[in-house]
Amino acid sequence: DQQVKQNSPSLSVQEGRISILNCDYTNSMFDYFLWYKKYPAEGPTFLISISSIKDKNEDGRFTVFLNKSAKHLSLHIVPSQPGDSAVYFCAASGVTGNQFYFGTGTSLTVIP
Amino acid sequence: DTGVSQDPRHKITKRGQNVTFRCDPISEHNRLYWYRQTLGQGPEFLTYFQNEAQLEKSRLLSDRFSAERPKGSFSTLEIQRTEQGDSAMYLCASSPASGSAYNEQFFGPGTRLTVL
């Protein structure tokens, strides 16, 4: 069963505009949520995270929003840059952080 | 320390053979994870070590898979009697025991396994 879902396999955005990547989860026990970026032939790279006690976390051009009642989180990238083109995975874990569940990824293309 | 390393980067084997992969985590990280990733999917959790103790193991991990971390440093993942369905990218990640990066996993480049 897929506990973390990314329903959009791909997204194209013009350079300078906002990119919004979405993620849904089913397990209400998830306590921590993360976004990773992955380039071809490399392992995923941590981007930004949010604890379940918060509803927003911002780091430079990247902001993650968490809506616990809807079991939904989103990643906003503003402004989008061509170097942001990659596959983005959301992930979630419980309190212990002993096991992480990943979504299937969204491939973002930023068009110059 | 330049990050998590994995060896080999690529492995081609015939069905029925055994293979072993190695992961060297970031030196001060005591938490280590193994994942498997197939095309079009996200990383799928396989197992978790805290120091040398294997604390979590996915129920999807068949008994042909075994992982070790004997001294709490590097880890090995062995697959016995490989099957074509084992073809995937095997990823290792590590994270520190505490601090702000506690839940941030640092991934290696992965080992791509092809079973013929």
- Which pLDDT tens digit goes with each residue over A10-69? 999 999 999 999 999 999 999 999 999 999 888 999 999 999 999 999 999 999 999 999
Contacting A residues, span 33-72, partner chain B, CB-CB under 8 Å: 34, 36, 41-46, 49
Q: Do B110 and A43 touch (CB under 8 A)?
A: yes
Query: In this predicted structure, what is the pLDDT of residue A108?
Result: 98
Q: Count A/B contacts: CB-CB distance under 8 Å.
A: 61
Residue with tokens 């079973």: B115
Query: In this predicted structure, what is the pLDDT of residue A68?
Result: 95
Query: In this predicted structure, what is the pLDDT of residue A2?
Result: 84
Query: In this predicted structure, what is the pLDDT of residue B28?
Result: 86
- Local confidence pLDDT in tens for the 116 residues of chain B: 579 999 999 999 999 999 999 999 999 899 999 999 999 899 999 999 999 999 999 987 889 999 999 988 999 999 999 999 999 999 999 998 777 777 789 999 999 999 99
Region at B80 (left for phi over 0; alpha for psi -120 to 50; beta for the rest):
beta
C-alpha angle B96/B3/B78, rounded to 5°?
Answer: 85
User: What does the H/E/C string look like for A35-74?
Assistant: EEEECCCCCCEEEEEEECCCCEEEECCEEEEEECCCCEEE
Under the banding of pLDDT at 50, 70 and 90, the label for residue A97 is confident
Please enumerate, as own/partner, the contacts of B49-56 that have beta carbons within 8 Å and a separation of 24 or more.
B49/B75, B50/A98, B50/B97, B55/A98, B56/A98, B56/A99
Q: Do B104 and A34 touch (CB under 8 A)?
A: yes
Q: Measured between CB atoms, does B95 come within 8 Å of chain A?
A: yes
- CA distance linking residue A98 with residue B51, whole number of Å: 12
Of B38, B14, B23, give the one whose Cα is nearest residue B112. B38
Query: In this predicted structure, what is the pLDDT of residue B1?
Result: 54
